[in-house]
Amino acid sequence: MTDTLNTTTETALSGHSIIAGQEVPGSGRTVNGYNPATDEALEPTYTLIDEDQLRQATSAAAEAYKSFSTLDPETHAIFLERVADNIEASAEQLTPRVMAETGLPEARVTMERGRTVNQLRLFAKVVRQGDFRGVRMDTPDPERKPLPRPDVRQRKIPLGPVAVFGASNFPLAFSTAGGDTASALAAGCPVIFKAHNAHPGTSEIVGRAITQAIKDTGLHPGVFSLIYGPGASIGQALATDPAIKAVGFTGSRGAGVSLMQAAASRPEPIPVYAEMSSINPVFFFDGALGGDVKALAKAFLTALTGSAGQLCTVPGLVFVPTGEDGDAFVSAVGEAIAELAGTTMLTKGICDSWTSGVEELAKQAGVELVGRGQTGDGSNAPGPAVYSAGVAQLLENPVLHEEIFGAASLIIRYGSAQELVEATSHLEGQLTGTLHLTEADYETAKPLIPVLETKVGRILVNGWPTGVEVNHAMVHGGPFPATSDSRTTSVGTLAIERFLRPVAYQNLPEALLPEPVKADNPWNLNRRVDGEVQLTD
């Protein structure tokens, strides 16, 4: 390792991993970030670590767990807030680097940075409030017959070190200090973050912000490490390292399933929380099409083409009724999309994959082109595309169910409510399902709700699935392949539950009990005592 890391936000990028607070040059090959608008390589060149160097990070995380998992709430919350402050302080260096590595506009980067720091501060509030610790206490009754009732106290403890993999499409909010990292750190789990090789500089800047916060609050440096490595080999090694107790992942279905298989085949299997694939069906009912269909078509295309369609909640499948109103909507979509131009996609690889997906969809039997936008500036800005087919084609052809990551969507024309329910029942798991309707459509739509509940994690009405609110009630998850575990969410404060497990303490002396379950409640937590909720002031 080199000398201790200089963590000021103005420091020039090093091109190295940060392992337990120190810069570590890799011993393997190298990678560069690329500007997708120009295909030009960005400096510096990043060195990739090997498996021996990876074990330095996982060993440090295992050592840090001992103190970090028992950190008092106030210090813990201050640490999360300090990370947020440091990210904001790095904006002058961070924003142009994100834009250069992703092609995203400044407004999108600024919005995403705000979301990232806001969720860190929200988790700081969760840590202070303490309900996530799940304290339950059943008091003893030595006089109970035929046997005395024991003293049993329960709390949730952090699982242990967590491996987090950066997402390609959200370089901040689902990346170094994004939702998986923030919720794992809030749970009390050290994090080893595998940077996405498409935006290494962005990851380093944010990694320095986290490292500085660790130093400022006096935490063990192994609480966080940032590593650069070959995706397949280091990713697999990270998921199978004995020190790692859970994985957070956002990315392709193939990569997510590979991590799931690796984690399940370990001598000690661990959970993988992977967000992978979703086409987010949107359902139009007759009443919704009785108004301004041109405005509705433009709103749909805005949701489809924002961020070049590279969102996990993009509306990739749209159900529209047959008849004149449905025809008018489809026609309006075709007219409006012709006026749009493509915007730069995140990487050449993503652009090539999108092009292949659209070409494959276009040649399927019964699929027709509704409209295509114009090619934008640069080599990675294809024009958005919308196609159409019928319910019969959707039921018969699995290609029509596949995600095309980017601005492409398929309109399905349906003839009856029963046909709509049948088609929905054959969909794979999704993140979202959206209903566009009026009060006149309520009875028609009602049978669809229970079917959607088995298929999606979030149901919304008269809106668009893009734009995921970060709050206490949000569910950003869904049945496979939307995620690997439909019981969880990767957005919102419930995300912390992924990295905790319950432990019960029976008849332990008070002196041996951990702070959250002591009788005098030193951390001032809400608790359930003998089945009754006891709220603190």
189 is catalytic: no
Structural domains of the chain sorted by starting position, each given as residue range(s) with its CATH number in brackets: 17-276+489-497 (3.40.605.10), 281-461 (3.40.309.10)
What's the rounded Cα separation, in Å, for the pair 412 and 111?
33
pTM of the model: 0.95
What's the rounded Cα separation, in Å, for the pair 163 and 125?
24
Predicted confidence (pLDDT) per residue in 75-115, tens digit: 999 999 999 999 999 999 999 999 999 999 999 999 999 99
Predicted confidence (pLDDT) per residue in 505-520, tens digit: 999 999 999 999 999 9
Predicted confidence (pLDDT) per residue in 432-454, tens digit: 999 999 999 999 999 999 999 99
275 is catalytic: yes
pLDDT over threshold 50, residue 306: yes
266 or 1: which leads in pLDDT: 266
What's the rounded Cα separation, in Å, for the pair 412 and 418?
14
Residues in the chain: 537
Q: Using an 8 Å Cβ cutoff, are 162 and 244 in contact?
A: yes
Helix, strand and coil percent figures for the chain, each rounded to 5: 40, 20, 40
Of these residues, 189, 312, 403, 419, which one is catalytic?
A: 312
Predicted confidence (pLDDT) per residue in 217-247, tens digit: 999 999 999 999 987 789 999 999 999 999 9
Predicted confidence (pLDDT) per residue in 389-416, tens digit: 999 999 999 999 999 999 999 999 999 9
Q: Is 493 exposed, middle or buried (0-12, 13-18, 19+ CB in 10 A)?
A: buried
Of these residues, 204, 275, 403, 419, which one is catalytic?
A: 275
Helices (H), 148-282: 179-187, 200-216, 231-240, 253-264
**Structure tokens belonging to residue 423:** 């088609």
